[in-house]
Amino acid sequence: MTRPFNFAPGPATLPLEVLQQAANEMLDWRGTGMGVMEMSHRSKEFISIAEQAEADLREILSIPSNYKVLFMQGGAIAENAVLPMNLSRGARVDYAITGSWSQKSAKEARKYADVHVVASNESDHHTTLPAYGSWQLSDNAAYVHVCSNETVHGVEMHELPDLAALGSNAPLVMDCSSHIASRTIDWSRVGMAYGGAQKNIGPAGMTMVIVREDLIGHAMAITPSAFDYKVVADNGSMYNTPPTYAWYIAGLVFQWIKQQRETTPQGELTGLAAIEARNVAKAALLYGYLDESGFYTNPVAVNARSRMNVPFFLPSDDLNDAFLAGAKAHNLLQLKGHKIVGGMRASIYNAMPLAGVQALVSYMKDFAVSHG
C-alpha cells in the first residue's frame, strides 16, 4: 500500500517510523507483556517512558533547568483559561491579536483577567504582523501573550518580540501549538510556552506547558487543582492520570527528531537543526510555486508567512471541489482550508517529507494547466 501524503492541520501526520514502532510495541512493550495503554502511570515502566520523553524534549529545545516541563490535558483551548488563572495574579494581561487563535485566547482570558490588546492585524484580515515597535504595551502587565503561529491564517512570528527592549518587564507567553519542535526557541525572551501536541508532537490528548519556575505558585483560588501549575509540577505531571499513550508517542517523536540528519551547503545538520532546515526548504518550494504560478494566490505578507500552515486560493471557488477530488486521487489528503478562511491549506509539519510537498506542487501545476 502506498501511504498518502496527509496535509491535515491537526491531528496531523506522524513520522512513519514512529507509527511502525508503536505498532510493534502495541501488545508488548519491551517484554513486559503489556502495551503502554495498559500500564499504570505510576509503574516503573511508564515512569521510565515519561522521564526519557522529558529529557529528550529538554535536549531538543535546549530548555533551561529553571523551567518546568508539564504534560497536561485539555489542549491549548483549555490553557486559554488555565493560563490567566495561574499567571495573571489579578493584574492586567496584554494580548497581541494576529489571527483566530489569538482572538480566542484573548476572549477566554477576559473571564479571568483584565485583557488589554496591544496590537491587532484584524484590519488586514490577519495577513500581516503588527510591527513590534507599534505595540501598546501596558506598564504593569502580568504577562504578554502571543500565538506565534496562527494555524488558520498561516501567519508566523519568525522572530519573537524582545519585550525588555520594548520597555516591558512582563514575561512573554506563547501558544506555539502548531510550530513547537519545528525550530529553536530563544528562552531568554520566553517565560512560558504551551501547546497541544497534535500538530508536530503526537496524537491529540496531551498539552505541553514549559514554564519558568518563578512564574508558578500564584494561582487563583478558583483554579482546579489539576490545572494549578505548581500542583502539576510538584507531582511530576501525575497529580491526576496523565494521557499516557500520547505521552509515549510524543517520546517516540522526540527520539525521531534527535535522529534526523540533513545535508546542506553549510554541512550536515542533526536533530532540530536538520528539522528546521527541512522545514525552510519545504516552505520555500511551496511558496515559490504559489508566487510564480499566476493561478494560485497566498494573501499573507512574505515576512509573516508560516512554515507550517500554507493557505492558498484558486482563481474561483467553483474549482475547489474539483481540486480536492483530484488531490485525493493523487494521494494528497486533507487540503481543504479552514471554514473561517476558505480556499485550501497545506499543513507541512515536521513529519511531512519534502517528497510530499514536491508531489503537491506537481499536482498543482497539472491542475493549473488543465483549468487555467
Q: Which of 101, 135, 247, 256 is catalytic?
A: 101
Mean of pLDDT values over 309-334? 98
- Per CATH, the number for 5-15+260-371 is 3.90.1150.10
Mean of pLDDT values over 223-228? 98
- Per CATH, the number for 17-256 is 3.40.640.10
Q: Which residues pair with 195 in a beta bridge?
A: 208
| pLDDT exceeds 90 at position 365 | yes
Residue identified by cell 494580548 is 95
The reply to whether 234 belongs to the active site is no
The reply to whether 124 belongs to the active site is no
Q: Which of 307, 314, 288, 287 is nearest to 151 (CA)?
A: 307
Check residue 90 and give its pLDDT.
84
Check residue 1 and give its pLDDT.
60
Q: Which of 68, 199, 282, 336 is catalytic?
A: 199
Q: How confident is the model at residue 11 (pLDDT cuts 50, 70, 90)?
A: very high
Residue identified by cell 498561516 is 154
**Contact between 104 and 115 (Cβ < 8 Å):** no
Check residue 372 and give its pLDDT.
86
Q: Which of 56, 94, 135, 175 is catalytic?
A: 175
**Contact between 56 and 271 (Cβ < 8 Å):** no
For the chain, the structural domain boundaries read: 5-15+260-371, 17-256
Q: Which residues pair with 328 in a beta bridge?
A: none
| pLDDT exceeds 80 at position 60 | yes
| pLDDT exceeds 70 at position 260 | yes
Chain segment 95-152, per-residue pLDDT in tens: 999 999 999 999 999 999 999 999 999 999 999 999 999 999 999 999 999 999 999 9
Q: Which of 299, 313, 296, 312 is nearest to 126 (CA)?
A: 299
Higher pLDDT, 259 or 267: 259
CA 84/CA 92 separation, integer angstroms: 10
**Geometric angle at alpha carbon 129, from 103 and 109, rounded to 5°:** 20
Cα dihedral 285, 289, 290, 296 in deg (nearest 10)? -140
Backbone CA torsion sign across 346, 347, 350, 351: negative
Check residue 359 and give its pLDDT.
98
Chain segment 287-317, per-residue pLDDT in tens: 999 999 999 999 999 999 999 999 999 999 9
- In angstroms, what CA-CA distances link 64 with 100, 106, 224? 31, 28, 27
Higher pLDDT, 90 or 17: 17
The reply to whether 175 belongs to the active site is yes
| pLDDT exceeds 70 at position 252 | yes
Chain segment 164-194, per-residue pLDDT in tens: 999 999 999 999 999 999 999 999 999 999 9
Supply the mean pLDDT for the chain: 97
pTM: 0.96
Of 61-65, 83-87, 89-93, 212-216, minimum mean pLDDT range = 89-93
Check residue 264 and give its pLDDT.
83
Check residue 164 and give its pLDDT.
97
Q: Which of 15, 13, 5 is nearest to 329 (CA)?
A: 5
H helix or E strand, kind and range, residue 232: helix 229-234
Cis peptide before 15 (omega within 30 of 0): no
